[in-house]
């Protein structure tokens, strides 16, 4: 038994097992959950939800059903990945502000464009839209697509739905898989139909020619696409960025003031971003960048978006509109990545490829449909021909029926002409019966035929049905045997869909110049910058500082004068320098709380610590001394920090464990004091420190013992007495630490 168990052990590399498992997981997420199929443009959860509603008979002309019932049935039969993902997919399919064409008719609270979430599934109800039944689920009973077993092999589910239009373009798609994501904008149904027809008429059509029909995306929220000339490149590559602006109008209010009214928003703004936009506008007002705005009101309703900004008399609406485009999400970008599952693998597709895959799928569906219809009509023709032939010899058939003892005798006689065991009135009848040769299906139909079929009118109806059947067979054979005939049928169906369901384009497509914002001229003035030990920053009037100087200096960590047009430079222990415009810092009274410096720039108190803060105007004409934990020192010209970027590397650290300890302005008569964790102090002249570029590491300031590092650094003026606390006792550095040379070990103080 032991030998047998040892034989079952498979030895393998752990990394190989992990790699295979991760690849299997990634492909499962990509194919089975996150990405849509190029043929029907649906992700598995959407396809399964729609098919389950179809199976439950929740049609557009039937009563609504509870969403909880739909979600539970879908999860139990087809999608065992949790009810929240199914309900979320169901809700999105019903939201007209997210989908170019809603596929589910929702009843109840299905959320709002402003980001309100849908009510719980036990409260909401839903049913299929008419277009879903007519365009997405039609002909499922005609064996037009393949079915596969569900997760536990107790049910069958469709591999793909027989969608008649390129849903990948109509409704777009978004999804995040493992290592890849898809983002496809919605388009106009009428334009898509015209493009598909153009491709069917000329397979060599170019993407540029297709764009005569598809002008560009058609977002349900409207708006204006402003980079029309870039759309061709986006549709050719399948990737790119679409710039969208909200639609803005200028109106006059009842009190005679001008108002900026936003009636359409960029598609990426839907949801919580509307609230963020309103906060951003309020921020522009507070920071004095848009003082002309006196009131902000969101008057949006079910009828549509209406955000009203009331302006002061004499304000320039054009400047405010440009400011909104530049500083808020009223102009935004939609990142396009037309990734979908094509032939079982993820692929980035261009516009023509999506249409090509769709048309190939339509021909496949149509072929299977008409093959199935032809088969049915052939079977019907066989029965009809049998009944017509039987009516001609009905007396003989009745004689066979009356002379037979069993049904088998009758069938054998009708099919093979076997007359044994059947009593006939005459030999002539028996001879005729022996010549009968009906098929199995015809014989069954004759035995099931009612006597009323012998009435003259019934016979005429039978002959008429037979003629119609023959006409259908000819038509179906023509469709199956000729490309043009099948293409004509598909295009006629597309024309019908366009006529019944197409809507007017909502998004305008144009070329617009980049917004050039002329900043309102700020009255230049002196201010005092204050930052407390918690990182809250503000600026105050110089006179207020002079009146409260003693209290300000005792309560704040950094205090200095600067101009309101200046920049604040924040040096951190990670060797970074972050800049913040003084105009972005709140200007107010001495006792105002201020704003965390984290909120004003790229600095993050969670990841780095402030070492030095000063105004750019104070340092750009000075020399700055840098000291790090590994004992490296250097001098850098302050002009190197006069940069446009908001964050730069202020110095190069010597390793991952290194950090910046000191930044300070110095003169040639100054001294540098380095203090290590091991208790060593070294004081040397700052003139010994060479000037380097900001990208340099510097030179060694002190020789460190193993596992020791610089803990504090001080920059002293020659006549300044500097007292620090060391082991809870005060020490005067000038007198206690003797002057030495740079790059020596220093003196260990004993207290």
What integer pLDDT is reported at residue 452 of this predicted model?
65
Please check the confidence at residue 6 and state whether its pLDDT lies above 70.
Answer: no
Dihedral of the alpha carbons of 37, 41, 45, 47, in degrees to the nearest 10: -100
Core vs surface per residue 547-578: b (16+ CB within 10 A) or e:
eeeeebeeebebbeebebebbbbbbbbbbbbb
Known catalytic residue at 235:
no
**What is the rounded distance in angstroms from the CA atom of residue 435 to the CA atom of residue 174?**
69
pLDDT digits (tens, 9 = 90+) for 601-659: 888 888 899 999 999 999 988 999 999 999 999 999 999 999 989 999 999 998 888 99
pLDDT digits (tens, 9 = 90+) for 90-102: 999 999 999 989 9
Q: What is the DSSP letter of 463?
A: H
Dihedral of the alpha carbons of 493, 499, 503, 505, in degrees to the nearest 10: 80
Tokens found for residue 695: 């990208």
Strand ranges (DSSP E) for 484-563?
508-509, 526-531, 536-541, 558-563
Strand ranges (DSSP E) for 130-180?
147-149, 156-158, 173-176
What integer pLDDT is reported at residue 2 of this predicted model?
44
Please check the confidence at residue 178 and state whether its pLDDT lies above 80.
Answer: no
What separation in angstroms does the CA of 579 have from each of 233, 563, 585, 603, 622?
A: 37, 15, 12, 9, 17
Tokens found for residue 618: 């104070």
Work out the average pLDDT over 491-497.
95
Say whether pTM exceeds 0.75. no
- Residue 109 neighbours by CB under 8 Å, 6+ apart: 116, 118, 119, 123, 124
What integer pLDDT is reported at residue 395 of this predicted model?
80
Work out the average pLDDT over 291-320.
88
Q: By the 8 A CB rule, do 90 and 75 touch? A: no
What separation in angstroms does the CA of 475 have from each of 205, 373, 479, 482, 640?
A: 29, 11, 6, 11, 82
SS3 for 298-346 is ECCECCECCEEEEECCCCCHHHHHHHHHHHCCCEEEEEEECEEEECCEE
Count other Cβ atoms within 10 Å, centred on residue 123. Answer: 12
The more confidently predicted of residues 727 and 154 is 154
What integer best gives the mean pLDDT of the chain? 88
Of the residues 123, 357, 603, 714, only one is catalytic, namely: 123
pLDDT digits (tens, 9 = 90+) for 539-550: 999 999 999 999
Please check the confidence at residue 50 and state whether its pLDDT lies above 60.
Answer: yes
For 566, phi then psi, to 5°, come to -85, 180
Tokens found for residue 268: 């990426």
pLDDT digits (tens, 9 = 90+) for 57-103: 999 999 999 999 999 999 999 999 889 999 999 999 999 999 989 99
User: What's the Rg (C-alpha) of the chain?
Assistant: 41
What integer pLDDT is reported at residue 4 of this predicted model?
47
pLDDT digits (tens, 9 = 90+) for 655-675: 888 999 999 887 656 788 899
- Residue 421 neighbours by CB under 8 Å, 6+ apart: 404, 405, 409
**What is the rounded distance in angstroms from the CA atom of residue 280 to the CA atom of residue 389?**
84
What integer pLDDT is reported at residue 10 of this predicted model?
77
Q: What is the DSSP letter of 397?
A: H
What integer pLDDT is reported at residue 1 of this predicted model?
41
Q: Looking at the DSSP assignment, which residues form a beta bridge with residue 345?
A: 342
What integer pLDDT is reported at residue 474 of this predicted model?
94
Residue 626, H or E segment: strand 623-628
Work out the average pLDDT over 527-543.
92
What separation in angstroms does the CA of 89 have from each of 97, 98, 104, 486?
A: 14, 12, 10, 35
What separation in angstroms does the CA of 584 have from each of 320, 428, 539, 594?
A: 18, 113, 10, 12
Please check the confidence at residue 527 and state whether its pLDDT lies above 90.
Answer: yes
Please check the confidence at residue 267 and state whether its pLDDT lies above 50.
Answer: yes
pLDDT digits (tens, 9 = 90+) for 555-599: 999 999 999 889 999 999 999 999 999 988 888 888 888 889 988
Q: By the 8 A CB rule, do 38 and 349 touch? A: yes
């Amino acid at each position: 038994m032991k030998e047998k168990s040892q034989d079952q052990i498979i030895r393998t590399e752990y990394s190989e097992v992990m790699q295979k498992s991760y690849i299997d997981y990634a492909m499962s997420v990509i194919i089975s959950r996150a990405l849509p199929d190029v043929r029907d443009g649906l992700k598995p959860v959407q396809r399964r939800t729609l098919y389950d509603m179809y199976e439950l008979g929740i049609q557009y002309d039937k009563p609504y059903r509870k969403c909880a019932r739909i979600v539970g049935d879908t999860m139990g039969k087809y999608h065992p990945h949790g009810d929240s993902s199914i309900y979320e997919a169901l809700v999105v399919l019903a939201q007209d502000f997210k989908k170019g064409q809603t596929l589910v008719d929702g009843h109840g609270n299905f959320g709002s464009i402003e980001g309100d979430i849908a009510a719980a599934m036990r409260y909401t109800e839903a049913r299929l839209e008419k277009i879903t039944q007519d365009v997405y689920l039609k002909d499922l009973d005609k064996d037009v697509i393949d079915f596969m077993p569900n997760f536990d092999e107790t049910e069958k589910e469709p591999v793909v739905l027989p969608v008649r239009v390129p849903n990948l373009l109509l409704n777009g798609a978004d999804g995040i898989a493992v290592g890849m994501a898809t983002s496809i904008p919605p388009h106009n149904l009428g334009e898509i139909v015209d493009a598909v027809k153009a491709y069917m008429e000329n397979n060599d059509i170019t993407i540029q020619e297709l764009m005569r029909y598809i002008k560009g995306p058609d977002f349900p929220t409207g708006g204006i696409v402003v980079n029309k000339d870039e759309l061709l490149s986006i549709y050719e590559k399948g990737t790119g960025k679409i710039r969208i602006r909200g639609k803005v109008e200028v109106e006059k209010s009842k009190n005679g003031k001008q108002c900026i009214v936003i009636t359409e928003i960029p598609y990426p703004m839907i949801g919580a971003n509307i609230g963020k936009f309103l906060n951003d506008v309020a921020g522009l007002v507070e920071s004095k960048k848009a003082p002309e705005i006196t009131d902000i009101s969101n008057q949006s309703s079910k009828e549509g978006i209406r955000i009203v900004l009331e302006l002061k008399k004499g304000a320039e609406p054009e400047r405010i509109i440009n400011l909104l485009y530049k500083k808020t999400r009223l102009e935004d970008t939609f990142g396009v990545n037309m990734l979908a599952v094509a032939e079982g693998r993820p692929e980035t597709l261009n516009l023509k490829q999506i249409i090509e895959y769709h048309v190939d799928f339509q021909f496949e569906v149509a072929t299977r449909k008409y093959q199935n219809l032809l088969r049915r009509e052939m079977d019907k023709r066989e029965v009809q021909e049998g009944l017509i032939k039987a009516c001609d010899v009905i007396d003989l058939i009745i004689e066979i029926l009356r002379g037979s003892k069993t049904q088998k005798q009758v069938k054998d006689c009708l099919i093979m002409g076997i007359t044994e065991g059947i009593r006939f009135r005459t030999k002539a009848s028996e001879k005729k019966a022996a010549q009968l040769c009906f098929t199995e299906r015809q014989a069954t139909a004759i035995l099931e035929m009612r006597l009323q079929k012998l009435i003259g009118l019934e016979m005429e109806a039978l002959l008429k049905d037979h003629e119609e059947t023959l006409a259908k067979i000819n038509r179906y054979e023509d469709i199956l045997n000729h490309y043009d005939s099948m293409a004509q049928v598909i295009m006629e169906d597309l024309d019908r869909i366009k006529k019944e369901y197409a809507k007017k384009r909502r998004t305008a497509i144009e070329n617009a110049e980049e917004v050039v914002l002329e900043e309102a001229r700020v009255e230049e003035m002196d201010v005092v910058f204050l930052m407390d030990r918690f990182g809250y920053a503000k600026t105050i009037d110089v006179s207020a500082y002079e009146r409260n100087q003693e209290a300000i200096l005792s309560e704040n960590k950094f205090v200095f004068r600067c101009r309101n047009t200046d920049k604040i430079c924040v040096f951190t222990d990670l060797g970074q320098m972050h800049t913040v415009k003084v105009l972005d810092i709140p200007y107010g009274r001495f006792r105002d709380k201020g704003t965390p410096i984290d909120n004003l720039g790229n600095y993050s108190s969670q990841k780095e610590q402030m070492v030095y803060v000063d105004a750019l105007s104070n340092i750009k004409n000075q020399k700055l001394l840098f000291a790090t934990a590994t004992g490296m020192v250097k001098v850098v010209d302050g002009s190197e920090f006069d940069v446009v970027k908001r964050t730069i590397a202020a110095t190069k650290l010597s390793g991952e464990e290194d950090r910046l300890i000191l930044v300070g302005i110095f003169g040639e008569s100054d001294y540098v004091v380095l203090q290590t964790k091991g208790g060593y102090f070294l004081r040397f002249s700052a003139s010994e420190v060479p000037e380097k570029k900001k990208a340099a590491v510097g030179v060694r300031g002190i020789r460190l013992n193993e596992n020791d590092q610089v803990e504090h650094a001080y920059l002293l003026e020659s006549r300044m007495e500097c007292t620090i606390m060391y082991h809870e006792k005060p020490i005067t550095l000038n007198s206690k630490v003797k002057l030495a040379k740079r790059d020596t070990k220093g003196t260990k103080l004993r207290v």
